[in-house]
A and B are shown apart, each in its own frame.
Chain A
Amino acid sequence: MKAQDKLNAQQTKNGLTGFKVDLWNYEGEKGALIPLLQAAQDSYGYIPLAAIDQISEIVGIPAAEIYGVITFYSQFRLKPLGKYLIKICDGTACHVNGSERIAGIIEDELQITGNDTTPDGLFTLQKVACIGCCSLSPVIMINDETYGRLTPKKVQLLLKEYKAKDQNPQTA
């Protein structure tokens, strides 16, 4: 059976749809676990339990060991994401230029802390070590957009803008 057919068959069995692994030809490839986990996260925004079972079948590694790999790397998430993922950079340059203050404002505004998601599922906060835009510090990323040279006022306006974009989050 071809790789993709096998995958489709397993997906149906595990009740998963939309698992895209077009970039990775995992058959016979060593070290496929992490790319497969990345593919699962790309497809769903997080790694659902069913996907772990499925990947376990593909690579022949026990689910428990896969769970160990998932929790080792900071990129992987076991919970769904909010609509907007806010990455707050706390690299050295951002740190000395006031990233903690920026983080504090966002946490105050959204009423969540650390790596959490707002109850309405709109925003997920994530503090990251370094986005690599140090010369624009302090920096945050909202989904794929990067916002640099932030001030407390700019952040407040930015959040307002995003909230306004989504007047009715429950249906979004």
Chain B
Amino acid sequence: MKTIKVGLGTCGVSAGGEKVYAALKSEIAKEKIPVNLLETGCMGNCYQEVLLEISDEKGNDFFYGNVTPEKVKRILDEQILQDKPIEEWIVKGLKTDDEDTFFAKQKRIVLRNCGIIDPNSIEEYIASGGYQAIQKVLKEYTPEQVIDIVLKSGLRGRGGAGFLTGMKWRFCRQAEADKKYIICNADEGDPGAFMDRSTLESDPHQVLEGMMVCAYACGADEAYIYVRAEYPMAVKRLHHSIQKAMEKGFVGKNIFGSKMNLKIKIKEGAGAFVCGEETALIASIEGKRGMPRFRPPFPAQKGLWGKPTNINNVETLANIPWIIVKGADAFAAMGTENSKGTKVFALAGKIARGGLVEVPMGLTIDEIIYDIGGGIRDGKKFKAVQMGGPSGGCIPATMGNLQIDYQQINKTGAIMGSGGMVVLDETTCMVEMAKFFLSFTQDESCGKCTFCRIGTKRMLEILERITDGRGQTGDIELLEDLAAKIKGNTICGLGQTAPNPVLTTLKYFREEYEVHIRDKKCPAHSCAPLLTFSILEDNCTGCTLCARVCPAAAISGEKKMIHKIDQALCIKCGKCFEACNFKAISKD
């Protein structure tokens, strides 16, 4: 029998996946069509949501993209009943054998089951080789041997800082205490990053299994998953998966007949970016304001409720089962000298083919943006890529041949971060971009360190006046001075990295700052107060539309006559520019 899989991750659902699923279900029932209707997680090529994968009896796979409920009837009719693929709706999917696809250069470890198995089915995870790693570990290895394997694999923490995972486990293992905890950090706060959400939604058992191995290695019998409350679907699927794993006896007492016990609990975050920081996260689980504290003592010595605690991010833990089953050498064979394995990136922004991609370390930025992402949307020019979220920076297009690994990215002034990759084109103003991130970190600063609390506020004010056309000579130097002080006088990662977006844009796009300050112009035509709107007389047909949409009554002109914008009245809202059907309004 044929099967239809509907991609129902958050992006699939947002694009209308559930409506497509419901339409398929009712049509199949109504017409009594012999077909298996299944759901799966994120397939990765989010830019084509809603996605269907149809497999026929001969083992052929067909991928349909941009599916709507209206298309359902024809797909069932032609593809399912008559075996006639609808060429114009078919897209290149996960298994398409073609050089120019979103998938050709990818190497999937963390995402290997995403969009393939049903995330709500523990049986499908087991059938794909799941829960083999934990059994192997319990049977064949001591905790120290597990740590050696993880160390040898070269796996680094995928949450941002890139610390060696095996080292972290060893610190926790070596701490002496009657009780230890492990925590899975799923508080994915970087705007522009959604890899952890997709992993949890599409393959939750893989993360649970990684946690089990980690707990074994560290000697913990209680685990927490700290997950953003903004990810309701991930929370729901995690609850369901833990329940199923408990029913099977994989979680609980005497796991797989061994002496190992493990309780896994979910804690929903309450919306604070700083809680991605280890000590703040611990405070939040303890029910307090999520404020970081001084280290040492590190969580590995004194963490949750004062006990040794190991914290790893979702993607880090998701790598573990694969490493255990395939061996450390197989993992270390991928990537560069200092960064092993793969990295998942959330490709978004002005990119033609956005979505979730997993590539071996060492691929260049250009390969990701052009070969995988298909270049820039609407034929515009690639300007920069923002990596690492609010703690990261903007890497200019001229550095497109940069190999992606922890060291190379750090050299640019950005950071690998959790893997957000927001692509910017020529219409993005870099000063505005820096302002955007600063307003985020300023808002999310917990207020403990003076330089973070007040320094980021002052930096934001300077950026605001630059983009408003009130920039002064010396503003750039003032920004640099403040940035250095904030970096050096704060205790947690949020403060120490908050100036990065400003520093990297200053490093690579200083000229843009200078033009804003000196000429009161925005080279990207993005900062509204620095724009001048005027009518292009050759194109104006006198349709009066612009005059009607103008909220300031700044546009005058008779019907069928050329209109005029009164600059003294213009509030630069851009409504006329958007409304004009004849490209008769210029923005400069």
Interface positions of A (Cβ within 8 A of B): 30-35, 37-38, 59, 61, 68-69, 72-76, 90-93, 95-97, 101, 104, 128-137, 139, 144, 146-148, 152
Distance of A145 Cα from B274 Cα, bound (Å):
27
Choose among A33, A104, A134, A144 the residue that contacts B192 (Cβ–Cβ < 8 A): A134
Chain A's closest residue to B14 (CB) is A146
Let me know if B191 and A92 touch, CB within 8 A: yes
Chain A's closest residue to B386 (CB) is A92
- Provide the residues of chain A in CB contact with B46, threshold 8 Å: 135-136
Choose among A73, A91, A93, A97 the residue that contacts B272 (Cβ–Cβ < 8 A): A73
Let me know if B13 and A146 touch, CB within 8 A: yes
Binary A-proximity of B187-201 (CB < 8 A = 1, otherwise 0): 011111110010000
Chain A to chain B contacts (Cβ below 8 Å), 22 pairs = A31-B287, A34-B270, A34-B287, A72-B272, A73-B271, A75-B229, A75-B271, A91-B191, A92-B192, A92-B386, A92-B437, A93-B348, A96-B349, A96-B428, A97-B350, A104-B573, A133-B14, A133-B194, A134-B192, A135-B347, A146-B13, A148-B14
Distance of A33 Cα from B284 Cα, bound (Å):
10
**Looking at A69, A134, A146, which has the most chain B CB atoms within 10 Å of its CB?**
A134
B335-360 contacts to A (CB < 8 Å): 346-350, 354-355
Give 6 A-B pairs besides A96-B422, A134-B346 with Cβ atoms closer than 8 angstroms. Answer: A95-B191, A97-B350, A130-B190, A134-B192, A134-B420, A136-B46
B151-191 contacts to A (CB < 8 Å): 188-191
B483 interface residue (CB < 8 Å to A) = no
Chain A's closest residue to B45 (CB) is A135
Let me know if B270 and A75 touch, CB within 8 A: yes
B27 interface residue (CB < 8 Å to A) = no
Choose among B230, B270, B349, B428 the residue that contacts A131 (Cβ–Cβ < 8 A): B230
| Closest CB in chain A relative to B28 CB, distance in Å | 25
Interface positions of B (Cβ within 8 A of A): 10-11, 13-15, 46-47, 49, 188-194, 197, 229-232, 267-273, 284-290, 305, 346-350, 354-355, 386, 389, 420, 422, 424, 428, 433, 436-437, 440, 444, 446, 573-574, 578
Choose among B191, B286, B433 the residue that contacts A130 (Cβ–Cβ < 8 A): B191
- Provide the residues of chain B in CB contact with A93, threshold 8 Å: 191-192, 348-349, 354, 422
Chain B's closest residue to A75 (CB) is B271
Ordered nearest first, which 7 A-B pairs have the shortest CB separation? A91-B191, A135-B46, A92-B192, A134-B348, A33-B287, A73-B270, A146-B14
- Provide the residues of chain B in CB contact with A97, threshold 8 Å: 349-350
Choose among A35, A38, A129, A133 the residue that contacts B10 (Cβ–Cβ < 8 A): A133
Given A93-B192, A96-B424; A69-B350 close (CB under 8 Å) = no
Let me know if B346 and A69 touch, CB within 8 A: no
| Closest CB in chain A relative to B419 CB, distance in Å | 12
Let me know if A32 and B287 touch, CB within 8 A: yes
| Closest CB in chain B relative to A113 CB, distance in Å | 15
- Provide the residues of chain A in CB contact with B288, threshold 8 Å: 33, 69
- Provide the residues of chain B in CB contact with A90, threshold 8 Å: 191
- Provide the residues of chain A in CB contact with B433, threshold 8 Å: 96
Let me know if B10 and A69 touch, CB within 8 A: no
Let me know if B192 and A34 touch, CB within 8 A: no
Let me know if B289 and A129 touch, CB within 8 A: no
- Provide the residues of chain A in CB contact with B446, threshold 8 Å: 72
Let me know if B350 and A96 touch, CB within 8 A: yes
Distance of A130 Cα from B192 Cα, bound (Å):
7
| Closest CB in chain A relative to B119 CB, distance in Å | 16
| Closest CB in chain A relative to B103 CB, distance in Å | 15
- Provide the residues of chain A in CB contact with B290, threshold 8 Å: 72-73
**Looking at A68, A128, A148, which has the most chain B CB atoms within 10 Å of its CB?**
A148
Let me know if A128 and B230 touch, CB within 8 A: yes
| Closest CB in chain B relative to A38 CB, distance in Å | 6
| Closest CB in chain A relative to B525 CB, distance in Å | 13
Distance of A72 Cα from B273 Cα, bound (Å):
11
Distance of A104 Cα from B422 Cα, bound (Å):
23
| Closest CB in chain A relative to B98 CB, distance in Å | 21
Distance of A144 Cα from B18 Cα, bound (Å):
13
| Closest CB in chain A relative to B395 CB, distance in Å | 14
